[in-house]
């Protein structure tokens, strides 16, 4: 740990602690995620090691950067990029009025290009939500994070394990059916709804009621502010199609004429498209 100087604890979980840290060689701020492996179940240990392996291969400006990992006693330590703006969830909760459509499409397309990079490598994220999307200091650049339950698929294979955060789980997963990248697309639609409204697309007092809402596609279109164009609302509806075959792939989202201008703007101003 001589390479790093811890500043403060910024998060705690069941198995570890997240430290804001300075890297001594260049005084760069970064995150050290210390995870105690001692009391973990085999599944939790596998999830942690899975995140490390996936972070190692994902290099993209809209994905939290991995630096290194090492063992210190019984702790696995992961050094990662620090996003000073916090989570997209916190940013949306701080807004007193709806985001402009230009801001919605800009943030949304950054998430899309990150997801495109992941899906190109046959990886499912499986837990896309505003809490797992981090922002830079100016809240202009977003970065996908938290790959603990992501899954690497062989080409054309599907996953069956029920994982993810309930409000963002796809209808096919609720029904116990197989799913592939289109389940991430459903969660992407849920995030777009939150970008537009500041509210979750699907909420209910209990899991049973939530499953009914999700499997019947009961989200409130009436809650969408009138400031948004019919084209954007139409894209949202496509992403939240109950039939996964009717949802677009990330390639199809990127090729949508409606998103061409936001994509060009993203490329020119942030360089996020690779």
- Residue 105 scores a pLDDT above 70: yes
Is there a single domain that holds both residue 11 and residue 69? yes
Residue 272 has pLDDT above 70, yes or no: no
Q: Are residues 33 and 103 in the same domain?
A: no
132 and 155, same structural domain?
Answer: yes
101 and 235 inside one domain: yes
Of the candidates 21, 159, 165, 2, the one whose C-alpha atom is nearest the C-alpha of residue 80 is 21
How many folded domains does the chain comprise?
2
Catalytic residue numbers read 127
Do 220 and 125 reside in the same domain of the chain? Answer: yes
User: Count of alpha carbons within 13 Å of 105, Cβ hemisphere only?
Assistant: 22
For 50, the domain range is 4-81
Same-domain status, 57 and 127: no
Q: Give the per-residue pLDDT at 267.
A: 82
What separation in angstroms does the CA of 133 have from each of 18, 129, 144?
16, 7, 5
pLDDT at 24 (0 to 100)? 95
Task: Confirm or deny that 33 is annotated as ligand binding.
Answer: yes
Confidence bin at 164 (pLDDT 50/70/90) = low
**Residue 109 sits in the same domain as residue 65:** no
User: Which position has the higher pLDDT, 68 or 180?
Assistant: 68
Kindly state whether residues 254 and 195 are assigned to the same domain.
yes
Distance CA 96, CA 116 (A): 31
What is the C-alpha to C-alpha distance for residues 68 and 52, in angstroms, rounded to an integer? Answer: 9
Q: Which of 81, 107, 124 is the last residue of a domain?
A: 81
Q: Clarify whether residues 37 and 162 are in a common domain.
A: no
Do 191 and 139 lie in one domain? The reply is: yes
Taking alpha carbons only, the member of 7, 26, 127 closest to residue 67 is 26
Q: Which of 45, 63, 81 is the last residue of a domain?
A: 81
Collapsing DSSP to helix, strand or coil, 4 comes out as: strand
Q: Are residues 34 and 132 in the same domain?
A: no
Give the confidence band of 163 by pLDDT, cuts at 50, 70, 90: very low
Give the whole-angstrom CA distance, residue 250 versus residue 188: 10
Are 11 and 142 in the same domain?
Answer: no
In this predicted model, what pLDDT tens digit does every residue of 59-90 receive, in sequence order? 999 999 999 999 888 888 999 999 999 999 99
């Amino acid at each position: 740990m001589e390479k790093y100087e811890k500043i403060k604890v910024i998060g705690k979980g069941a198995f570890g602690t997240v430290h804001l840290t300075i890297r001594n060689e260049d005084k760069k701020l970064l995150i050290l995620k210390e995870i105690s492996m001692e009391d973990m179940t085999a599944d939790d240990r596998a999830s942690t090691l899975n995140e490390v392996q996936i972070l190692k291969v994902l290099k993209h400006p809209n994905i939290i950067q991995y630096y290194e990992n090492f063992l210190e006693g019984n702790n696995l330590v992961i050094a990662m990029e620090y996003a000073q703006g916090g989570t997209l969830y916190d940013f949306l909760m701080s807004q007193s009025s709806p985001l402009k459509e230009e801001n919605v499409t800009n943030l949304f397309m950054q998430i899309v290009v990150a997801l495109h990079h992941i899906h190109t490598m046959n990886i499912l994220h499986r837990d896309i939500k505003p809490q797992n999307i981090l922002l830079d200091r100016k809240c202009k650049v977003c970065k996908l994070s938290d790959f603990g339950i992501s899954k690497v698929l062989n080409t054309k294979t599907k996953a069956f394990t029920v994982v993810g955060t309930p409000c963002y789980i796809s209808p096919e997963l609720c029904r116990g059916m197989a799913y592939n990248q289109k389940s991430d697309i459903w969660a992407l639609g849920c995030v777009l709804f939150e970008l537009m409204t500041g509210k979750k697309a699907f909420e209910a007092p209990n899991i049973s009621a939530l499953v009914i809402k999700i499997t019947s596609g009961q989200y409130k279109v009436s809650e969408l502010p009138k400031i948004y164009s019919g084209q954007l609302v139409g894209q949202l509806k496509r992403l939240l199609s109950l039939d996964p075959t009717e949802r677009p792939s990330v390639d199809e989202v990127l090729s949508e004429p409606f998103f061409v201008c936001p994509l060009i703007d993203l490329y020119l101003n942030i360089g996020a498209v690779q």
